[in-house]
Amino acid sequence: MPLRAAVVGTGGISHEHLSFLAGRTAIGDVASRVELWAVADLSAASAAYAAKTFGARAAYTDLKELLEIEQPDVVHILTPPDTHVRLATMCLEAGADVICEKPITPSYPDLVGLIGTADRCHRQIMESHNYRFNHAVEEMVAATDRGELGEIREVTIRIALPVTDPDTRFGDPNLPSPIHAMPAGVIHDFTTHFAYLLLHLAPGVTYDRVAAAWSRHSGNQLFRYDDLDALLIGDGPDGPVHARLRFDARSAPETFTIAVRGSKGMAETDIFQPYLRMVRPRTVGSRLSPVANHLLNGASLFSSGVRNFGNKLMQRGPYEGLHHMLDLTYRAMASGTDLPVSHHDMLAASALVDALLDQEATR
Amino acid sequence: MRVLITGAGGFVGRHVATAALQAGHIVRAVLRPSAPTSVLGPLVDDPALEVATLDLRSPVGLVDALEGVDTVIHLAAAKSGDFYTQFAATVVGTENLLAAMGAVGVKNLVGVSTFSVYDYRALRAGALLDEFAPLDTDPGRRDEYARTKLIQEELYRDHAHKAGNHVVVLRPGMVYGRDNLWHALLGAEIGPLVLRIGSRATLPLTYAENVADAMVLAAEQIGGGSGRLDGQIINIVDDRLPTQKQYIAAIADVAEAPRSLPVPWPAMQFATELLDRGNELIIGGRAKFPGFMVPDRLHARFKPLRYTNAKAKRLLGWTPRFRLDGAIARSVAKPSTRSSTEPVAAAVDG
């Protein structure tokens, strides 16, 4: 019997969760594992629209009422971050498992408390680490696991988005986003991505040296910060690892690039315009490997261009990883196996975010 | 009468505020927090103007803003951004406004909608588009604006059915005026070029000051006891509507036209139908093309149809004050710095 899923918060990101639950993504039909049962939003019109469009059985403006009447098995919490702990606690105590958008809590101690609540209620809770499950990132991890890049030495993750533009949801001065109230302001919305990707791409590394420069280059008073430049150095199973995390609101184009460098080679991708460039030893030998890398990467870049054009035409955005993650989650729930994002993954990411924020407090 | 005007800082809203002040009403103009009162121009000096600063996407401040108000003219809506951005501004904004009106007891509403809500593919070329034309009941392939305005109209209808409420919905055609002479019904942008699709289609135009008059007349009459406007839908277009070719000729001397390439309407219609069939057959209709290449959107912008303002004239007693030439002249004349209550009769056509 499929699990009954409810969605609370029917804003922009809900489109991806609801599309998955309605079986309208590339994953296809998920009806044997999960059924979209109910939705809730403070706006009755928004809840009604989501229910009608995606086929939920009921729409509510009160989560408490939804939990009491519909008794869902799983609740997707897609509301602003400052509401996550309160709503997740309500769901867990009502007997529902929780899948929550990032950042699940404002701080590590809050996450420890929330996981404690889940354990006490014998329920599961999982934070969305969606980009981990994007195809290009999975390919990078697979290459690393196969040893094609050698021992990991450095990871660079860079996000460039014009968040201070008043026409964007973060820069809108008329109804400021609730994310501005988070400790790192708008950048808090991205720190979880930085943390889980770094930990996933270079596993087993403890970053004991963290330097983070938080800035507000725009001077926009709405923003606590609009720029982060962080350097992390840690020790892993194969020796020291350097990482650079960069959030930039001033440069074009919009990017979300990830580069991993190892003792044998490097790999890089861009989440927004996916491609995979790998420079590594090829079977043609060390002399011809540079030429082989050029040719193979040229061909790969060209095919990525064609694929990305197709993705644009077919309305596929950067959320294929989210759909994949949700699919893995419901498969795990159905089989009683471990969820794809563990408590350890969530705690490690949260601790890393707090380490970055400690630099903010002492600057 | 005290009338609250949402979207008063916008292109049409400023004209509506002006017309309401000229008609002797107290105007409470709703401006968003980022909008300086200077967007209202010389109106800010009018003693009958009050300003309420709030964002309709949040209910905060709405009840206070509605205190003492007799009638609301609801213009605020989003015309750009993705679906959820427009949904928040247009649908949630309306939802919050109507809830606050209920809380305060403001019963009279002039809801402003759009011609975009009609189902253009259901109309044959040359048909009359009037208030009886079908609404788009499957707007999935229309643009975000049409989709959110259709939901907004559902909210208006629900509100009208609640006891004691008086609601009239005005659907203006394409509104033109100062800084808005070139518009989406004349062509579709492709990079630096504009495809001028068709030339003989009649344009459902209304000049900003004309439509403002209609809105104020509706506000004056809604809830007036006769109930003749209650639940009515009224289309607003001007008299003697020009074709695309005539309009472009009329603005040629005063508005810089973008570089354009003329394409006959039948050719464009055929090409988009072919593309649409291919999309359906090969990939189940999942491909997304630019708006003018989607038949539903192409028809909504360029299909040759006929229009009428008979109902507006009959129910509102409205006559468009400005004809095309006069309206264009006013649109490019030096902005007036006179007080809003000074007469403008000298500038009226005919």
Query: What CA–CA distance (Å, rounded) separates A126 from A47?
Result: 23
Average pLDDT, chain B: 92
- Asked if A174 and B286 come within 8 Å (Cβ–Cβ), the reply is no
- Give the long-range contacts of residues A330-335, CB within 8 A, separation 24 or more: A330/A3, A330/A30, A330/A33, A330/A34, A331/A33, A333/A3, A333/A33, A333/A74, A333/A97, A333/A124, A334/A3, A334/A33
Contacts of B289 in chain A (CB under 8 A): 313
Give the count of domains, chain B: 1
- Asked if B32 and A12 come within 8 Å (Cβ–Cβ), the reply is no
Q: Is A44 an 8 Å CB contact of chain B?
A: yes
Contacts of A177 in chain B (CB under 8 A): none
Q: Is A221 an 8 Å CB contact of chain B?
A: no
Q: Do the domain assignments include residue B330? A: yes
CATH number where B95 lies: 3.40.50.720
CA distance, residue A167 to nearest chain B CA (Å): 8
**How is residue A2 annotated by DSSP?**
P
pLDDT tens for each residue of chain A, 363 residues long? 899 999 999 999 999 999 999 999 988 889 899 999 999 999 999 999 999 999 999 999 999 999 999 999 999 999 999 999 999 999 999 999 999 999 999 999 999 999 999 999 999 999 999 999 999 999 999 999 999 999 999 999 999 999 999 989 899 999 999 999 998 999 999 999 999 999 999 999 999 999 999 999 999 999 999 999 999 999 999 999 999 999 999 999 999 999 999 999 999 999 999 999 999 999 999 899 999 999 999 999 999 999 998 888 887 889 999 999 999 999 999 999 999 999 999 999 999 999 999 887 555
Q: What is the largest CA-CA distance in chain B?
A: 64
Q: Is B282 an 8 Å CB contact of chain A?
A: no
**CATH 3.30.360.10 occupies which residues in chain A?**
132-274+318-331+343-362
Q: Do the domain assignments include residue B7? A: yes
- The tokens for B303 are 């299909």
When pLDDT is cut at 50, 70 and 90, the band that residue B336 belongs to is low
- Per DSSP bridges, beta strands A277-279 and A266-270 are antiparallel
User: H/E element holding B26?
Assistant: strand B26-31
Q: At A243, is the secondary structure helix, strand, or coil?
A: strand
- Among 3.40.50.1100, 3.40.250.10, 3.40.140.10, 3.30.360.10, name the CATH number for the domain at A132-274+318-331+343-362: 3.30.360.10
- Asked if B33 and A314 come within 8 Å (Cβ–Cβ), the reply is no
Q: Do the domain assignments include residue B272? A: no
When pLDDT is cut at 50, 70 and 90, the band that residue B347 belongs to is very low
Report the topology of domain A3-127.
Answer: Rossmann fold (3.40.50)
Residue B56: closest C-alpha in chain A: A175
Q: Do the domain assignments include residue B244? A: no
Q: Do the domain assignments include residue B309? A: yes
pLDDT in tens, A292-325: 999 999 999 999 999 998 888 887 889 999 999 9
- Print the domain residue range for B9: 2-178+204-237+305-338
Query: What CA–CA distance (Å, rounded) separates B112 from B216?
Result: 12
Percent of chain B exceeding pLDDT 90 equals 80
Residue ranges with strand state E in chain A = 3-8, 34-40, 58-60, 74-77, 97-100, 125-127, 152-160, 206-215, 227-236, 239-248, 255-262, 266-270, 277-279
Q: Is B270 an 8 Å CB contact of chain A?
A: no
**CATH 3.40.50.720 occupies which residues in chain A?**
3-127
